Amino acid sequence: MLKLIDIDKTYDNKIKALKKLNLQLEIPQLAVIIGPSGCGKTTLMRLIAGLEKCDQGQIIINGKTVNELAPSLRDISFVFQDPSLFAHMNCFHNIAYGNHATMGKDQLRSRVEKIARMLGIANLLDRYPSSLSGGQKQRVAIARAICKPSKLILMDEPFNNLDAQLKQSLIKDIRALQKELNLMILYVTHDRKEAFELADTLIVMDQGEIVQIAKPSAVYHQPINPFVASFFGDMNFFEGYIKNKGLYFADQCIQLSKEYEDGKVTFAIRPEDIVKNGPIKIHDVQRQDRGNYFLFIAKINDQTVMIKDASDDFFDSIAIPIKKLIIWQKNA
Ligand code: ATP
């Protein structure tokens, strides 16, 4: 459905926005591109949409190489932050726009009405954009993108200008529409919560590259590297060393279930995965009330450790469950 091969993009001969980027998405799904500011998310979307040209590489949509095709010929539709509706057309015609040649009048009317019902804007079809709120305008823009029978819908931070409650309800609508209409949506955000709520697949970018493509739970629990680990929430990083399948750390030897290379290693564990009371002594324990949990910050020898727990009871030792350990080694 969407295949990107070795995509390179440099702006003004110096800013390398995308580096040999590869991506393949087949089945209808909601794939979310996420990464820090400036990592190349919008550039990638604009290249797929045809609003920008790549220097190298191939963009394939539904089996066809589209590098040289204009946006309107790419079998895609898109929704960006600015809804960009036609001011002189009512909502019905805004949504139906561009489909008269490919759909009969009755078919188009019933498609517009169905999508408008699903997005809760059926009562707005006769109104003009100037009379709509920001959230209503964005719903019309989404309806227009979905009305076009495109296989691929691109959404780049479409709800950034909306308040949190409205954003939440639109996220639910997008999710429902994707499932009901079996759409392929490629959605950009830098908001981790939004990404986890929406994504079937997370595509994590850093410095012009895709660093991990996986289900949200896998990105959270098996991050590919320390950058991804810390991007998606609090993480403890520790230094230790491995010898004969034993991980030596804080005067303990944790027996590993897999083979790793002997030598120094950085490993990690989420604060909520650490168990209170166990063989590893902690000291200088501080407690913070975070509302729905307590965060304990303590020391193991000279290394800092964070522990999340539902109870506020203090403790002076912990256990690190092997199954929750994340160890980064080339052959791991
Ligand atoms: P954000 O989350 O802040 O929107 P992003 O991940 O979408 O960022 P891009 O907008 O794709 O990142 O930018 C990637 C890199 O390319 C950045 O270094 C940016 O400054 C640069 N860049 C983007 N557009 C242009 C342009 N038109 N001319 C020159 N440099 C650009």
Do 240 and 224 lie in one domain? The reply is: no
Instruction: Please indicate, yes or no, if residue 44 is contained in any of the structural domains.
Output: yes
Do 40 and 164 lie in one domain? The reply is: yes
**Residue 156 CA: which ligand 1 atom is closest?**
7
Domain stops at, among 186, 202, 229 = 229
pLDDT category of residue 187 using cuts at 50, 70 and 90: very high
> What end-to-end distance do the CA atoms of the chain give, in Å?
32
Instruction: Please indicate, yes or no, if residue 98 is contained in any of the structural domains.
Output: yes
In the prediction, which pLDDT does 116 show? Answer: 92
282-288 long-range contacts (CB < 8 A, ≥24 apart) are 282/315, 282/316, 282/317, 282/318, 283/316, 285/314, 285/315, 285/316, 287/312, 287/314
Instruction: Please indicate, yes or no, if residue 178 is contained in any of the structural domains.
Output: yes
Tens of pLDDT, residue by residue over 220-247, are 999 999 999 999 999 999 988 999 989 9
Q: Mutate which of 7, 8, 9, 15 to test ligand 1's pocket (most atoms within 8 Å of Cβ)? A: 15
The type of residue at 42 is: T
* DSSP type of residue 60: E
3-state helix, strand, coil in the chain (%, to 5): 30, 35, 35
Do 154 and 76 lie in one domain? The reply is: yes
In the prediction, which pLDDT does 82 show? Answer: 82
**Which protein residue's CA is at the shortest distance from atom 11 of ligand 1?**
40
**Which protein residue's CA is at the shortest distance from atom 2 of ligand 1?**
37
3-state SS, residue 210: strand
Distance 78 CA to ligand 1 centre (A): 18
Q: Mutate which of 9, 41, 194 to test ligand 1's pocket (most atoms within 8 Å of Cβ)? A: 41
pLDDT category of residue 166 using cuts at 50, 70 and 90: confident
Do 63 and 175 lie in one domain? The reply is: yes
Run of H or E residues at 138? helix 134-147
Instruction: Please indicate, yes or no, if residue 274 is contained in any of the structural domains.
Output: yes
Contact between 204 and 241 under an 8 Å Cβ cutoff? The reply is no
Distance 35 CA to ligand 1 centre (A): 12
pLDDT category of residue 330 using cuts at 50, 70 and 90: low
In the prediction, which pLDDT does 24 show? Answer: 96
Residue 331 pLDDT > 60, yes or no?
Answer: no
Do 201 and 287 lie in one domain? The reply is: no
Domain stops at, among 167, 198, 229 = 229
Determine the Cα angle at 120 with ends 161 and 34, to 5°: 40
The CATH number of the domain holding residue 63 is 3.40.50.300
Distance 218 CA to ligand 1 centre (A): 28
Residue 273 pLDDT > 50, yes or no?
Answer: yes
Q: Mutate which of 12, 43, 187 to test ligand 1's pocket (most atoms within 8 Å of Cβ)? A: 43
**Residue 45 CA: which ligand 1 atom is closest?**
11
Distance 18 CA to ligand 1 centre (A): 10
Give the number of domains in the chain. 2
Do 207 and 245 lie in one domain? The reply is: no
Share of the chain above pLDDT 90, in %: 72
Distance 177 CA to ligand 1 centre (A): 30
Distance 145 CA to ligand 1 centre (A): 24
Instruction: Please indicate, yes or no, if residue 142 is contained in any of the structural domains.
Output: yes
What average pLDDT score do residues 78-85 get? 85
How many angstroms separate the CA atoms of 96 and 94, rounded? 6
Do 91 and 6 lie in one domain? The reply is: yes
pLDDT category of residue 159 using cuts at 50, 70 and 90: confident
Do 274 and 128 lie in one domain? The reply is: no
**Which protein residue's CA is at the shortest distance from atom 9 of ligand 1?**
40
pLDDT category of residue 332 using cuts at 50, 70 and 90: very low
- Which span out of 209-213, 252-256, 276-280 was modeled with the highest average pLDDT? 209-213
**Residue 157 CA: which ligand 1 atom is closest?**
4
Do 246 and 198 lie in one domain? The reply is: no
In the prediction, which pLDDT does 72 show? Answer: 87
pTM above 0.95, yes or no: no
Contact between 149 and 118 under an 8 Å Cβ cutoff? The reply is no
Residue 162 pLDDT > 80, yes or no?
Answer: no
Residue 169 pLDDT > 60, yes or no?
Answer: yes
- What residue numbers bound the domain in which 189 lies? 2-229
Distance 58 CA to ligand 1 centre (A): 20
Do 162 and 271 lie in one domain? The reply is: no
Distance 195 CA to ligand 1 centre (A): 20
Residue 70 pLDDT > 60, yes or no?
Answer: yes
Instruction: Please indicate, yes or no, if residue 332 is contained in any of the structural domains.
Output: no
Contact between 24 and 37 under an 8 Å Cβ cutoff? The reply is no
Which of 3-7, 70-74, 298-302, 327-331 has the weakest average pLDDT?
A: 327-331
The type of residue at 166 is: L
Enter the tokens of residue 153. 């819908």
pLDDT category of residue 103 using cuts at 50, 70 and 90: confident
In the prediction, which pLDDT does 53 show? Answer: 94
Domain stops at, among 195, 229, 263 = 229
Instruction: Please indicate, yes or no, if residue 109 is contained in any of the structural domains.
Output: yes
Do 138 and 278 lie in one domain? The reply is: no
Reported as half-sphere exposure (CB side, CA atoms, 13 A), residue 6 has a value of: 3
Q: Which residues contact 10 (CB under 8 A, 6 or more apart)?
A: 16, 17, 55
Do 110 and 174 lie in one domain? The reply is: yes
How many angstroms separate the CA atoms of 218 and 270, rounded? 13
Distance 199 CA to ligand 1 centre (A): 23
Pocket of ligand 1 (CB under 6 A): 11-12, 15, 17, 35, 37-43, 190
State the DSSP string of 146-157.
Answer: HHS--SEEEEES
The candidate with the shortest Cα–Cα distance to 165, out of 188, 140, 135, is 135
The candidate with the shortest Cα–Cα distance to 183, out of 144, 213, 227, 149, is 149
